[in-house]
Amino acid sequence: MLVLNATFEPINVCTVRRAAVLLLKAKAEIVEHGQWELRSEHTAMPRPVVIRLMTYVKVPRDTHRRKITRRAVFARDGWACQYCGARQNLTVDHVIPRSKGGSSDWTNIVASCAPCNRRKGDHLPSQAGMHPRCKPAAPSPNVFIHVASPTIPPAWRQWLPIATVADAA
Ligand SMILES: [Zn+2]
């Protein structure tokens, strides 16, 4: 279930059950629905595929605090090594090595292929002459949507600006 903010900006993925609760409480509306109905004892509603919250929520800007996972790092970095562009044998690399005081947050972790990671080893980017192609930063909410739902239903695509991430995977 894709959840859009009141502004139609995608923010989240939730379960059908959660979506049904939001819809029953009139906290959300259905933007796209599927073919079958959700039925309970008392009600039936079209199965939601994309819902939109009725009131704007300010959640999306805290992505820097969201848990860092390998998949989220890879998705943010377009499933490509940030040093050479390779798409295979991806690992995560601390740009400033932990042994040199590098932090384990979004601004210091990038996707790196295993060979680049080995080559860079315990060196600073300047020592190794290896700098990430993009300055690492907290990802946009869309990245987490792609991570939470590896296969993006066609009905979601028009709402997600970066469909290429899933395609590249
Ligand atoms: Zn590489």
Taking all residues of the chain, what is their mean pLDDT, rounded to a whole number?
Answer: 86
Residue labelled with tokens 């939730």: 14
All CATH 1.10.30.50 domain ranges of the chain, comma separated, are 67-128
Q: What pLDDT is attached to residue 169?
A: 37
Strand ranges inside 40-168, DSSP E: 44-53, 90-94, 109-113
Q: What pLDDT is attached to residue 164?
A: 45
Compute, in angstroms, the gap from residue 102 CA to the centroid of ligand 1: 20
Least confident piece of the model among 38-42, 78-82, 84-88, 142-146: 38-42
Compute, in angstroms, the gap from residue 63 CA to the centroid of ligand 1: 26
**0.75 surpassed by pTM:** no
**In whole angstroms, how far apart are CA 114 and each of 99, 108, 119, 121, 124?**
19, 17, 9, 10, 17
Compute, in angstroms, the gap from residue 26 CA to the centroid of ligand 1: 49
Compute, in angstroms, the gap from residue 66 CA to the centroid of ligand 1: 26
pLDDT bin (cut points 50, 70, 90) of residue 61 is low
Average pLDDT over residues 32-59: 81
Q: What pLDDT is attached to residue 127?
A: 96
Compute, in angstroms, the gap from residue 113 CA to the centroid of ligand 1: 4
Helices (H) and strands (E) in the chain, counts: 7, 6
- Local structure of residue 36 (DSSP, 8 states): E
Is the predicted pLDDT of residue 75 greater than 70, yes or no?
yes
d(CA 125, CA 95): 7
CATH of domain 67-128: 1.10.30.50
Average pLDDT over residues 43-58: 85
Compute, in angstroms, the gap from residue 91 CA to the centroid of ligand 1: 9
Amino acid (one-letter) located at 89: N
